[in-house]
Structure 1
């Protein structure tokens, strides 16, 4: 569902990673809220862009940001709007993929962030939005993680995000930018990465067989993609002063993998006795839930969809 919640008619917005998991939904929602948009991605626009491409307020640049920066700038300038902003969605967002190729991960998640920030400085764009991850908190021992909690790089992916966060803070403080860093909990949609726990379960539900996962014990904070996109926009319209603002974007509600699997089965009318796990891994109980009280305080908004509602929306199209 594309939400119309804000009037962004004064803005032209560059979206990097515009064909990606977050970017594709963000582009459509920004256009629905009357922003003009330049999307850039090394992958072609998805089929869901059919209507967006026809929108005279939308431009798409195919290629890497480093190679196509001049074309992106030209398209950005061509949009006659008073205010400019960048939503930097490009990068590698999967833990295992980053771990397999750390150099590529740092190039995609850190170096590219520097290059996009430089683009902002050179072209006097003072608003910047960036998705980080709740994984930077690690396991907080059964308590929801708050923004002031210590952060730790437990793997290459979280290390790249923490590095990017630090760089963004430096640019915000040095150049007077307005930078918003949204630390996301576990985002899900029908296009979620197949190697994630949600992706694994959705694929198995679609196939109609057993629901087999590594462990049913971990507790996570699952948030539907439409809520994430609306959260980005709510933060963007609520915070416009110079500085760097780090905010958890989450439901604040923990659900175990077992609850996730059972909810998916119920949504698809599949018996829950098909759910299995590797018993030797049941000791891997961990909790990663993000406190969203700062998000609520800053925006007055809470996520719309609970886990059952979000999964039903996805599964009605998959099964």
Structure 2
């Protein structure tokens, strides 16, 4: 392949198949990339931009271009091109999420512990949601603050209420409290963090990346709803699997005698499960990150605008759903 004409933005794997999306999400959420410094990430960005300009440095290999694009996708925002904060990157979900989720599942018996870990989790979620937002629809600091407070309050109210309600319930039932609280908070946090998209719509583009306008009724609804589903499923797999395994393991006499290891064991178990589910995109892969929509299904004003400018040349529009 002639590297000067190589389309570095074209997906490396076929995104119309589950396997292709699986490989893509594994690539951009690889937790090993969080260990790389800004210098190496910036070099990767420079190589990606050089490839886009058709001026690939002499001696560059195709594999080096693919690796540079992997680092670029994992660390730089797809809309702004700016380097994202480390904690908010999806590649940080395994190390960051395993610790928080593990402690939420371990320390669920007392109200202070529930309050603290739900607060930590929602702070983490808010940062991740903001970092991976659709930046074509900017959100103000006030809107960010309202979203954070609302989601955190929802999670705390749900968790504390269920914690008190399930005091006498079996351990397995009580262990589901963190998940229910997180799911409820996601239903609030994600729409609140993406409220500007809901109000103004998501920018839709054509095959060549040209902006065609904002879709308020279709794209924002599908994008936000898909993201809530993806994020909730990602939490479900770790909590559900680790709940079953931990409840079984903790019945053994040996583990009953070394209770100080219960927390680290829970964290390690969640980390192993997240290491399989999240990077591999098992629950992210069924839903493409770059979604398409027929022009005929857009709201009338946007549809008419696109057809007036392009006629039948543009049949589909595309938009970024976000992770």
Q: Is the pair's TM-score, using the shorter chain for normalization, greater than 0.5?
A: no
Q: Which structure is richer in relative contact order (CA contacts within 8 A, separation 6 or more)?
A: 2
Q: Taking structure 1 as the reference length, what is the TM-score of the superposition?
A: 0.27
Q: Which has the higher strand share?
A: 1
Structure with more helix by fraction: 2
